[in-house]
């Protein structure tokens, strides 16, 4: 059997993953030196409340020992293998840590660690594709080949309400952050081609103009009129109304695209803050 493993960047909790037939090792959120397992020991709304009350959380990769224990548990049957689909290397140390745990596990030859080069919605789509292919009898190599193909059609952007979160993450300088807050601008950032970093590409005075800026960037990479065969993932940081507003806006410009709304996991609020919204697209058909 091929066991699938991933992390909470998929926006799927460990409990929900087990119900779907795979395993999630949660990312971590730390507040005042206390660590919480993403979507297991803390929810997005709970973290949003703590941030609004002055908490300054940090994030980290899954606990290495927990992943190593899972690998060894899943390898007990000598015919079984593992495919671990990790959040983009560079945005997190998860992939590097998984490679280290592979080398330390009982049989490294039966563990495949895959850098998805993405996060959130597209990563979720890749896991769902891997699950479908696994259940249809595909092996790890065939699945990874298909995931490589999917990567050619993905794009990730994010809108942030509070410049301070970008400043702490090194995405905006202090002067830019101060000006942005005073003018109440909406910064827009995109994931680079390698999936290793986010870069601020501009600011907008309204959410509608921010949506238009992201649409423009998506069509630069993919194609004008992008829609058929694609799924647009709108993932919010404790602001479902903003996600619904975005869904209505994009449904008008790309009526043939599927649209899925999710709530970001707590870890992403550390970097985007309450009210942020990721806008991502990937070809799923």
Quick: pLDDT tens for 203-234.
Answer: 777 888 889 999 998 888 886 666 789 999 99
Note the pLDDT of residue 166: 56
The answer, yes or no, to whether residue 283 has pLDDT greater than 80, is yes
Q: What is the pTM of this model?
A: 0.90
**Cβ-based neighbour number of residue 224 at 10 Å:** 7
Q: Calculate the CA 282 to chain-centre distance.
A: 13
How far apart, in whole angstroms, are the C-alpha atoms of residue 160 and residue 22?
32
For residues 130, 135, 138 and 141, what is the CA-based torsion angle, rounded to 10 degrees? Answer: 30
Do residues 157 and 189 lie in contact, with contact meaning Cβ atoms separated by under 8 Å? yes
142-191 confidence digits (pLDDT tens): 999 999 999 988 999 888 876 565 555 444 444 333 333 433 557 787 77
Pick from 100-114, 120-134, 178-192: least confident: 178-192
Burial of 45 (0-12, 13-18, 19+ CB in 10 A): middle
**Cβ-based neighbour number of residue 270 at 10 Å:** 24
Note the pLDDT of residue 270: 86
pLDDT-based confidence at residue 271 (cuts at 50, 70, 90): confident
Higher pLDDT, 35 or 168: 35
How far apart, in whole angstroms, are the C-alpha atoms of residue 15 and residue 12?
8
The answer, yes or no, to whether residue 238 has pLDDT greater than 90, is yes
- The mean pLDDT of 121-129, rounded to a whole number, is 97
Tokens representing residue 189 in the block? 């950032």
Contacts of 27 (CB under 8 A, 6+ apart): 7, 8, 9, 37, 38, 59, 60, 61, 62, 87, 92, 94, 265, 267
């Amino acid at each position: 059997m091929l066991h699938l493993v991933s992390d909470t960047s998929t926006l799927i909790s460990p409990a929900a993953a087990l119900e779907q037939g795979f395993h999630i090792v949660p990312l971590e959120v730390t507040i005042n030196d206390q660590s919480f397992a993403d979507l297991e020991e803390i929810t997005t709304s709970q973290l949003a409340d703590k941030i609004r009350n002055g908490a300054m959380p940090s994030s980290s990769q899954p606990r290495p020992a927990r992943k190593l224990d899972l690998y060894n548990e899943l390898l007990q049957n000598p015919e079984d293998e593992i495919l671990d689909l990790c959040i983009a290397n560079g945005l997190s140390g998860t992939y590097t840590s998984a490679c280290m745990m592979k080398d330390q596990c009982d049989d490294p030859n039966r563990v495949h660690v895959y850098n998805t080069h993405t996060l959130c919605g597209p990563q979720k789509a890749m896991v769902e594709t891997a699950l479908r292919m696994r259940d249809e009898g595909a092996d790890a190599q065939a699945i990874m080949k298909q995931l490589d193909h999917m990567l050619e059609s993905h794009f990730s952007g994010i809108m942030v309400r509070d410049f301070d979160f970008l400043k702490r993450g090194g995405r905006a300088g202090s002067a830019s952050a101060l000006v942005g807050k005073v003018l109440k601008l909406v910064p827009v950032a995109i994931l680079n081609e390698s999936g290793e970093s986010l870069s601020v590409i501009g600011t907008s005075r309204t959410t509608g103009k921010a949506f238009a800026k992201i649409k423009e960037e998506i069509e630069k990479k993919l194609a004008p009129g992008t829609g058929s065969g694609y799924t647009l993932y709108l993932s919010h940081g404790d602001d479902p109304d903003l996600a619904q507003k975005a869904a209505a806006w994009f449904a008008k410009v790309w009526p043939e695209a599927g649209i899925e709304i999710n709530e970001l996991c707590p870890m992403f609020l550390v970097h985007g803050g309450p009210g942020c919204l990721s806008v991502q697209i990937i070809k799923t058909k």
